[in-house]
Structure 1
Amino acid sequence: MPSLALAVDFGGTKVEAALVDADAAVVPGSRHRHPTGPDRTADQLDAAVAEVVRGAVSTLPGGVDLAGIGIGSAGPVDVAAGTVSPLNVPAWRGHPLADRVRALVPGVPVDLRIDGLCIALAEHWVGAGRGAHNLLGMIVSTGVGGGLVLGDRGAPSPSGNGGHIGHVEVGGFDDACPCGGRGCLEAIASGPRTVAWARTQGFEGTTGEDLAAAHAAGDPVAIAAVERAGRAIGQAVASATNLVDLDVVAIGGGFSRVSPALFEHARAAVTRRTAFDFVRRVKIVPSGLGDEGPLIGAAALVHRPELVG
């Protein structure tokens, strides 16, 4: 039986857990999911985590021990303390997520990191970033997260929040962000904030799925909203590439699938933003792993510890 990791992914919309083997394959039948969200209490969120962790562990084959537990969480995080304070989950501030999971599965080592780093590790390991030495992994969903692989390793980060591109401020925008900034990428290009902007322009839908359907149908407000989000992503990517000379930006998350046009606008914005050839060479691509990417990245903390800065 191959070595198995318990992978946990906690975000602003849902928490998931699954068993993942050393070849980055999610074990069939082991994946469990529960909603989260900004209206849940701390106890409800803890109960959701416990439900999915216990569900995944219950599928562990007899006689097989877990090699470890990897947790990816929306940030900010405090790696040294094992705590999380997801911006879009106000009930958790300095919440001891690592200890909560450790208590559910005693005796198994736990490694907690920001979800953006996990997606970057997954894409570098088996996804769209294979062969790239400098990679930014991004999640565009309820929020916008990110993580960096530089020189084939996760970028060193004292607090664990390195690469959190969602709170880089983007020129030409003034949207207020809960982090205290203005014009942050997350405040412009996340799914909920893009829908909110579209509604100020007369759009009547309420979800990213509504916006995707309207975009596919040619609705001009939906088209403008996706262009706006893509342009902001591209500008942020161009700035990040100027800073750390990226080869690839791999983007996953539910809202990243709103339309292929999101990527087209992001690429066009990079070209408009800079005359530097080393920046224009960056490739902006969809995740190669679909919605399993965050779980595979959490498992990389266990199976590929040499990748972790």
Structure 2
Amino acid sequence: MTDSTVLVPLALAVDLGGTKVEAALVTDAGVVLPATRFRSPTGPGRTSEELQAAVDEVVTSALAALPADGLLVGVGVGSAGPVDEQHGLVSPLNMPVWRGYPLRDRVAAHVSADVPVTLRMDGLAITLAEHWVGAAQGHDHVMGMIVSTGVGGGLILHGRTVSGPTGNAGHVGHVECGGFDDPCACGGTGCLEAVASGPKTVAWAQRQGFTGTTGEELAAAYAAGDEVAVAAVKRSGRALGQAIAAATSLVDLEVVAIGGGFSHVSPDLFEYARQAVAERVEFGFVTKVRIVPTGLSQDGPLIGAAALVHRADVLR
């Protein structure tokens, strides 16, 4: 490499979720470098030490893959919430051994002191990605959502992120939905996550006689017209729409972009959500909201974490 070589600015993106942690290097065009992507399982059964080992493994592997013409300009960490943005702490609901865990500092220990490390809730990171290179491009009043093991979300209003005093604004998974009495791990009743996440939807279907155990099996049963599977997806879609209508009533959204593994259970999930929003017949500012599938590939969470670095100008 000569002195005239132009270095490619890269962000180390780290995404911590309820089933896995991933890390990769991402360009300032939102492209994940495939050879730098690594993942390791997480989940509620892991000890604190095992979770940290998983994070260390993927971070060190990704950093070791930094190309010769790459320049690490920052680290973005998107984590399942709740988070403490100011202090860099995480308390993922589905990882009970981590409460107030100093994830930002643990990740920062892998890079030099002059490399900034930014931690935000994963829902906010994915919203940044949708606004940057996804389905919400060109809109400045956006909610991004992840419907997967849990349900997360984030907000961009007037073109800037909104994270609130602790970093948890947009945590739509814990908006309570009318007509549902499902208990939630957060202590609430009828929270969107307790109704519409993949595992909770499957669990409800099982109580109605469904014999499958995964979201993929539920999707196949839905496609085959299984009555219980259809009822389960309708139920989750309605809860999703109710939460989106409530959020739009509050902050006047233009677009809600939804990704995550369970969002692919059927395209009808989106239609059921739209039907629930459409019931707000007297509120055109609510019924105007567009509910769309993510415009991102499966790289979305990593692109979102990288956006915390490459789109830092949008952060508030």
Length-normalised TM-score, structure 1: 0.98
Q: 2:17 aligns with which of 5, 8, 11?
A: 11
- Give CA deviations for 1:96-142 in whole Å, capped at 9, x if unaligned: 10011011223221000000000100000110000111000000001
Residue 277 of structure 1 deviates from its aligned partner by: 1.1
Cα RMSD for the two superposed structures = 1.0
Match runs of 1:123-134 below 5 Å: 123-134=130-141
Aligned position for 2:52: 46
SS at 1:19 equivalent:
strand
Aligned position for 2:158: 151
- The CA distance in 2 between the partners of 1:86 and 1:261, in whole Å, is 29
Is 1:123–1:287's contact at 8 Å kept on the other side of the alignment? Answer: yes
- The CA distance in 2 between the partners of 1:165 and 1:57, in whole Å, is 33
Q: Which amino acid aligns with 2:289?
A: V
- The CA distance in 2 between the partners of 1:28 and 1:193, in whole Å, is 32
Match runs of 1:248-267 below 5 Å: 248-267=255-274
Is 1:252–1:290's contact at 8 Å kept on the other side of the alignment? Answer: no
Aligned position for 1:210: 217
- The CA distance in 2 between the partners of 1:114 and 1:274, in whole Å, is 33
Is 1:80–1:159's contact at 8 Å kept on the other side of the alignment? Answer: yes
Is 2:124–2:163's contact at 8 Å kept on the other side of the alignment? Answer: no
Identity %: 66
Is 1:233–1:266's contact at 8 Å kept on the other side of the alignment? Answer: yes
Is 1:70–1:112's contact at 8 Å kept on the other side of the alignment? Answer: yes
Residue 243 of structure 1 deviates from its aligned partner by: 0.7
Q: Which amino acid aligns with 2:123?
A: G
Q: 2:35 aligns with which of 13, 24, 29?
A: 29
Aligned position for 1:173: 180
Is 1:238–1:274's contact at 8 Å kept on the other side of the alignment? Answer: no
Is 2:258–2:294's contact at 8 Å kept on the other side of the alignment? Answer: yes
Length-normalised TM-score, structure 2: 0.96
SS at 1:299 equivalent:
helix
Residue 273 of structure 1 deviates from its aligned partner by: 3.8
Residue 293 of structure 1 deviates from its aligned partner by: 1.1
Q: Report the number of matched residues.
A: 309
Residue 151 of structure 1 deviates from its aligned partner by: 0.4
Aligned position for 1:81: 87
Greater than 6 Å deviation, 4+ residue runs:
none
- The CA distance in 2 between the partners of 1:59 and 1:149, in whole Å, is 32
- Give CA deviations for 1:181-237 in whole Å, capped at 9, x if unaligned: 001000000000000000000001111111111111111111110000000000110
Aligned position for 1:105: 111
Residue 63 of structure 1 deviates from its aligned partner by: 5.2
SS at 2:291 equivalent:
strand
Instruction: Give ranges in structure 2 of 5+ residues lacking alignment.
Output: 1-6
